[in-house]
Amino acid sequence: MQKVYNKQIMRGVNLTCVKAEKFKTGCLSITLMTQLDKKTAAMNAMLPNVLRRGTARLPDMESIAAELDNMYGVRIEPALRKKGEIQCIGFYADFPDDAFLPHGKNILEKTADLIGEMLLQPATSGGRLKAEYVDSERENLISDIKAEINDKRVYASMRLTEMMFKGERYGVSRLGSLHDAGKITVHSLTRHYKELISTAAIQVFYCGAADPEYVEQIVRGSLSTLPRTDVSDMPSTEVSTEEWTAPVKYLTEKMDVTQGKLVMGYRLGEAMRQPDHAALMVFNAVFGGAVTSKLFMNVRERLSLCYYASSGVDRLKGIMKVSSGIEFSKYNEALSEIQRQLESVKNGEILPLEMEGAKKAVITAIYSALDEPGGLESLYLDKSILGLPVDPSDLAPMVSEVTVDQVAKIASCAKLDSVYFLTGEDDDA
């Protein structure tokens, strides 16, 4: 098993290192943890893209590109993620290990330095972020928000989140709203940037062959000018733990599509009070997360009610979404069948194949993620948000111990909150 090293290296800056020699590439991410909020979501979403445009030393994309090419095509990409009610923004880099490059030396150090420059010494004009970059990235953000409609599966899921969490933080999109994006100015973004960089809690993650002590020294160097006088606490995500009793909300929208998308949102309520993460993962795999699940085996395979039907739990918010692609006319049938399947989990009607298949799928997923730099990065970011005491690799043995009763208990806490249906223009359902 890989060695994991975790340390606060500066005020509000936490470094996690996974030393592993088997990978051909290393990865380094630097992530600013900010509270997801309607007022700042769009600004946060575009900030990494603006910072990626140019630094004081490398003032435009072309000079950055030349530098990255000479470092054997290191990728430094703006990263934007919604984790519960936290908006994680920053940079994710991956780079070939020096050992496999003919003239590659200190690629890690050069990468860390370049990310540090992007974060701390952006290209400016008159003390502000460059207007040209802000204007152009605002337009890009606007077109990204408009393009959210392109993938109907993702779009339907996003619409469900909006209706289910109207007025709540979690209902805010990862990219923010069109309205808020349109209002961003050089002035407002510069002010926001300065505040963020001096206050935000920061997670740094490295995975690769280098020694943790060396990584720490390099990261300290690249962030040496980071202002840390006024650091905020790590933002938190509010997990809903109340039993949900409100009537179910329904929304149907029409669009020029040939396949309907049905999305259902559940609140897990009490099951999230002292969540058993291993049991939650097994529950999701039994119900709709695995190929051996109730939804896949029954709604799709046995009844042919849909092309896909799957569930996903967001443990950072305490909810579950069921997502399905169906013919327009199958709406009622699919809706009631999905609920019937959840009912059977609640009643503990779980076949040995379903239970074992679910556990094994979860264990494979955990171990596989540990074999990929990107998978490791995401697991450790979640761990830092949840404040989980266990290492991701310790979860696997706990998964084997989960019982049918535990799974049934979680199912009985799940309460349907909202149903969204995207249907065709000429459908009268």
Partner 1 sequence: MLRLFEYGKIGECAWRDELPNGLRMCVVPKPGYRKKMAFFATNYGGADRKFMLADDWIETPAGVAHFLEHKMFDVEDSENALTTLSGRGAAANAFTASNMTAYHFECTDMFYENLELLLKFVSTPYFTKDSVEKEQGIIAQEIKMVEDEPDYAVYYGLIRSLYNSNPVRDPVAGSVESIKSIDPDLLYNCHRVFYTPSNMVLVTVGDVDPVKIRDLALNILPEYNFPPAKRDYGDSEDDQPNTLHFEKEMEVGAPIFLAGAKTKAGLSGEDMLRFELTASLALSVLMGRGSPLYSQMYSEGLVNDTFYYDFESTAGVSFLSFGGESQNPEQVCLRVLDEAERLVTSGVEQKFFARRQRAAYGHEIRGLNSFDNICYNVAVAGFNRYDYFKTIDVLESITAEDVRRFLAKYLRPELLAISTVRCVRGERDV
Its sign, for the CA torsion 411, 414, 415, 416, is negative
Phi first, then psi: give them for residue 208, nearest 5 degrees.
165, -165
Least distance from partner 1 to the Cβ atom of residue 20, Å: 8
Closer of 65 and 390 to partner 1 (Cβ): 65
Least distance from partner 1 to the Cβ atom of residue 4, Å: 16
Closer of 112 and 145 to partner 1 (Cβ): 145
Least distance from partner 1 to the Cβ atom of residue 11, Å: 33
Closer of 144 and 391 to partner 1 (Cβ): 144
**Cα 228 from Cα 217, distance rounded (Å):** 18
**Cα 282 from Cα 275, distance rounded (Å):** 13
Closer of 316 and 326 to partner 1 (Cβ): 326
Least distance from partner 1 to the Cβ atom of residue 382, Å: 20
319-326, strands of its sheet edge to edge: 249-255, 415-424, 260-267, 319-326, 308-314
Closer of 23 and 266 to partner 1 (Cβ): 23
187: number of CA atoms within 13 Å, CB side?
1
The closest of 283, 305, 303 to 293, measured between CA atoms, is 283
Least distance from partner 1 to the Cβ atom of residue 186, Å: 16
Closer of 61 and 248 to partner 1 (Cβ): 61
Closer of 147 and 248 to partner 1 (Cβ): 147
Least distance from partner 1 to the Cβ atom of residue 41, Å: 15
Contacts of 230 (CB under 8 A, 6+ apart): 198, 199
Q: What is the DSSP string of 131-146?
A: HHHHHHHHHHHHHHHH
The alpha carbons of the chain give a radius of gyration, in whole angstroms, of: 23
**Cα 320 from Cα 325, distance rounded (Å):** 17
Least distance from partner 1 to the Cβ atom of residue 135, Å: 9
Contacts of 179 (CB under 8 A, 6+ apart): none
Tokens standing for residue 368: 């596989």
The alpha helices in 301-421, defined as continuous H runs, are: 331-346, 352-370, 373-386, 392-400, 404-413
Least distance from partner 1 to the Cβ atom of residue 266, Å: 24
Least distance from partner 1 to the Cβ atom of residue 245, Å: 32
**Cα 259 from Cα 390, distance rounded (Å):** 42
Closer of 25 and 222 to partner 1 (Cβ): 25
Closer of 30 and 74 to partner 1 (Cβ): 74
**Cα 237 from Cα 247, distance rounded (Å):** 25
**Cα 137 from Cα 51, distance rounded (Å):** 10
